[in-house]
Structure 1
Amino acid sequence: MLQAISESLSNKEIANKLFLSASTIKTHVSNLLVRLNAKRRTKALQIAKDFQFIQAFLLITCNLVL
């Protein structure tokens, strides 16, 4: 989810990419914001980058693909 948000995708675009409803994505994004104590997507991304959540996810994903 953080990766999709970092790509500036809307809820609808994320939903289409993941074959889910926009409502489901909205729920997941809302839960993510609550867990990161962020009011906006940009703040969530900043927190995720500070804690290196996004980089860790990319490293794990790259290792799985290799």
Structure 2
Amino acid sequence: MSSNVGEIAGQIWNSLSSSGNKPVSLTTLAKNIDRKKEEIALGVGWLAREGKLHIENIGATIKVALTK
């Protein structure tokens, strides 16, 4: 399972990198890389643990961007 989470984390990183690193919601990320929102949450957690993501709460929406 952890190798799959690592793969998802890589897809998230690539998606954010190619989009100009604008903050993106988890729902948008799920659509962009064709994954379930729960899988996105696991990948975001992986990247956050590595210090590679900035996570922002905007109302009920969580947006993420790569750290600079």
TM norm structure 2: 0.49
CA distance in 2, matches of 1:12, 1:20: 10
- Structure ranking higher in strand proportion: 2
Listed as ranges, the gaps of 5+ residues in structure 1 are 50-66
- Contact 2:27–2:37 (Cα < 8 Å) also in 1: yes
4+ residue stretches of structure 1 with deviation over 6 A?
none
Considering only aligned residues, what root-mean-square deviation do their CA atoms show, in Å?
2.7
Number of aligned residue pairs = 45
Measured after TM superposition, the shift of residue 37 of structure 1 is: 7.6
Question: Which of the two has higher C-alpha Rg?
Answer: 1
Report whether the alignment pairs 1:4 with 2:25. Answer: no
Instruction: Give matches, 1:1-66, under 5 Å.
Output: 1-2=12-13, 3-4=15-16, 6-36=21-51, 40-41=54-55, 45-46=66-67, 49=68
Higher RCO structure (Cα 8 Å, ≥6 apart) = 2
- Structure ranking higher in helix proportion: 1
- Contact 2:52–2:66 (Cα < 8 Å) also in 1: no
Listed as ranges, the gaps of 5+ residues in structure 2 are 1-11, 57-64
CA distance in 1, matches of 2:29, 2:35: 8
CA distance in 2, matches of 1:9, 1:28: 14
Percent identity for Structure 1 against Structure 2? 18
